[in-house]
Structure 1
């Protein structure tokens, strides 16, 4: 198996370990080191980079394999790798943007199936090539999308048709609305940041330039990070970004796909206008929508992605693309919680589970039916908790309601003594807390060893 060294400027990053071709050996292997520079190759004890995908402004991306998941699936490892020409302030900003990408992906990737899922974010400290020093590298690991981005498609097959760009708008606009609703501005919408998976599903990529908005007004102190030609006037001149800033960039993206020309070729700076209509023939309806998406003044542009989508409805007659039934369903991936929240959710699950079993036992006489109903209800409760569909405040409200229900249970014919119900519920909660603590400790020990 070939393993790629992630140390910047490694003289010979390709390493080959024949023993790792065996899956059993790969899953149990100890740390491997680059034969050229000594860099640890097994990242966070599980990720093995196998190929360099590309190098951007602040980092490098590698195709990697995750040995901890059956089948050793692919993933993408991004390494924070800023230019050596950056000054201290620029370096701090670059690291902030990299960490911000991980934070945003942890939120939006978990909750939307057209945004890559974040698997991990971690630092690695290694001996430097300079004697007596250490180097620290930051990595984030995300879902691998097997496909081509729209820039690659344009280069490979030529201009897109009106029908094809309508499909893109129909799929990407809801994704933009989703992130905007969470106070996130992408700031770098362009063809290379929209990926089409092999099954046709579109994904929004590269959240390294995002701006997280905390209020309705966007500060003019927003960092000026953008791709020339795609950035709206307020972004290039004042450093301001709004949801309509992303809409402007999406409009430019559609123009480049329709015409096959660079964004800078379609804009006339002398008159400060886009000159694209002579390059492609499309319906007047879509032309008018694109013109409004590209208005230089914010108040003349569409204010939201939903507004654009509503304007497009007369043009969109494209049936939904069928999705293969074997696609991974990200909605059932277990959400990550802090240890404290995990214990709280475990306690509530245990307490509520005990109440469910007691209530079903009192209301249903047939043992088999009683068991089946209890299993279904408790299993549903576990799924709801693992997905984080209920906030912490909701859990506390449920506990309060449960104590009221206990009094009702005690009033039922043949009901248990109220103290017994409370004791059984608390005992079940403590058992769940103990089990979670034990398994967390075992996981931590095994992660350290492996």
Structure 2
């Protein structure tokens, strides 16, 4: 069995002990030591590091085996050992952050399925064979999430679809809602701290930067330490000011931008104009999601959504708007009607709009309709104006224009259809025939009115056709 030495700077950290391949030996051996530096290898007499998972400014993370579990369970061992020569104050802050992660994981990890559980937290004091001085290390053992973080996933598969980003946003919002309800702020939301396991479940990792706040007012007078990830953190955090739940929400929004575009937040932020310029890098994104992200990215914390639950509600509302009115109606009917009844064939429904549409305007005018209505208006208009002029002189013209206006309005509101137009036109012709029969109008007058109406109708059809052609040409150009 290969065991990895966890001492920083060990020249030969790989150690191989074939006797530990025997399960009985593995569980009973007291301790093993590094053949190069003498560092104890079985941490806390229980955890056996086998692979380096990664290094950071405060230490390293190892894949390890828990030899005192029936299945020799895999876990993650984090070692606290800051790089560089930190002064006493900086070292104390770094150690506090590491210990805080253990406290938070013990409290929250056991209560939420998408936060890794804490298994152990312990110090280790060893002697350095070269300097002969004692060295102190701190170890944190937590649940292994077998999967891939979103930063790695982004590099492997490319940019995320909107539906995939909405899934990430929704799942992490639920985790943040739980964290914030427990008076904590994560302070380091970014793709590398979100892990997707083999089954597709998302986990929030790395609680080393978590800040605990008072339940009353959030301790706004307390300033934040300079622990953040450049580009993902909002202005108040980078300035060392107070942090809020909205601080995490801002970082989650920048994470979404990174996943949508494949670009770092620094590339998407226009520092010259002091604004985000991310929409030019995204295609086919819904207005609902774009509006939510824009509000989350506002520079002033009070202008953003104030809680994860508010964002979840907005996300739900934006997705609900995408459901067609016919679907909503059928769902409501199925919920409210205990006895199913025959339904008419489905009718075409209009696309969603920001304002309600009157039922009388749902159906648009076709080209044929437009020409029919134009001819009808010209025919009726000429007869009314010329006919009433013979009876009422100047007032007749005014009354005729008012009637024409009424007819146009009725046609626009679709109160008249083609059958109605035929009826009104037929009635007008019959009325002229009656006038001719009773001698009110002469044959020449009736003929003049009919010919005038036909000419006016044809003329208005021609004018309408010309304007429609011009409109289509301009539309194709612009």
Settle same-fold status: TM greater than 0.5. yes
Instruction: Tell me by how many angstroms 1:218 deviates.
Output: 2.5
CA distance in 2, matches of 1:67, 1:224: 38
Match of 1:364 in 2: none
Structure 1 length normalisation: TM-score? Answer: 0.69
Measured on the aligned residues, the alpha-carbon RMSD in Å equals 1.1
Q: What residue is the counterpart of 2:307 in the other structure?
A: 304
Name the counterpart of 1:271: 273
1:50-199 matches, within 5 Å, as: 50-199=50-199
Out of 231, 234, 237, the residue aligned to residue 236 of structure 2 is 234
- Offset of 1:316 from its aligned partner? 4.7
Question: How far apart in 2 are the matches of 1:212 and 1:239?
Answer: 15
Deviation at 1:73, TM superposition (A): 1.1
Aligned equivalents of 2:78 and 2:22: distance in 1? 26
Distance 1:121 1:45 in 2: 13
Alpha-carbon distance, 1:85 to partner: 2.2
Tell me the distance in 2 between the aligned counterparts of 1:133 and 1:238. Answer: 37
Q: Return 5+ residue gaps in structure 2 as ranges.
A: 321-478
For normalisation by structure 2, the TM-score amounts to: 0.65
In 1, Cα distance between the equivalents of 2:104 and 2:88?
24
Structure 2 CA distance, aligned partners of 1:27 and 1:220?
48
CA 1:9 to 1:128, structure 2 compared with 1: closer, same or farther past 3 Å?
same
Question: Shift in Å at residue 130 of structure 1?
Answer: 3.5
3-state SS in 1 of match to 2:65 = strand
Deviation at 1:199, TM superposition (A): 0.4
Q: Which has the higher contact order (CA 8 A, sep 6+)?
A: 1
Q: Distance in 2 between matches of 1:311 and 1:26?
A: 54
Shift of 1:173: 0.3
Question: Does the CA-based 8 Å contact 1:59-1:78 persist in structure 2?
Answer: yes
Q: Is the 8 A contact 2:101 2:209 kept in 1?
A: yes
1:237 Cα deviation after fit: 1.7
* Contact 1:51 1:64 survives alignment (8 Å): yes
**Greater displacement, 213-222 / 300-309:** 213-222
Number of residue equivalences: 317
Find the counterpart in structure 1 of residue 260 from structure 2: 258
| 2:52 partner SS | strand
Q: Which residue of 1 aligns with 2:224?
A: 222
Following the alignment from structure 2 to structure 1, what is the Cα–Cα distance between the partners of residues 13 and 319?
49
Q: Please give the alpha-carbon distance, in whole angstroms, between the structure 2 residues aligned to 1:238 and 1:168.
A: 28
On the 8 A contact 2:195/2:203 being kept in 1, the answer is yes
Q: What SS does the corresponding residue of 1:72 show, helix, strand or coil?
A: coil
CA–CA separation in structure 1 for the residues paired with 2:8 and 2:36: 12
The range that moved more, 292-301 or 130-139, is 130-139
SS at match of 2:195: strand
Structure 1 residues 279-428: aligned runs within 5 Å: 279-281=281-283, 282-316=285-319
| Structure 1 contact 220–238 (Cα < 8 Å) conserved | no
How far the C-alpha of 1:44 sits from its partner, in A, is 0.7
In 1, Cα distance between the equivalents of 2:86 and 2:69?
38
* TM superposition shift of 1:45: 1.1
Larger CA Rg, structure 1 vs 2: 2
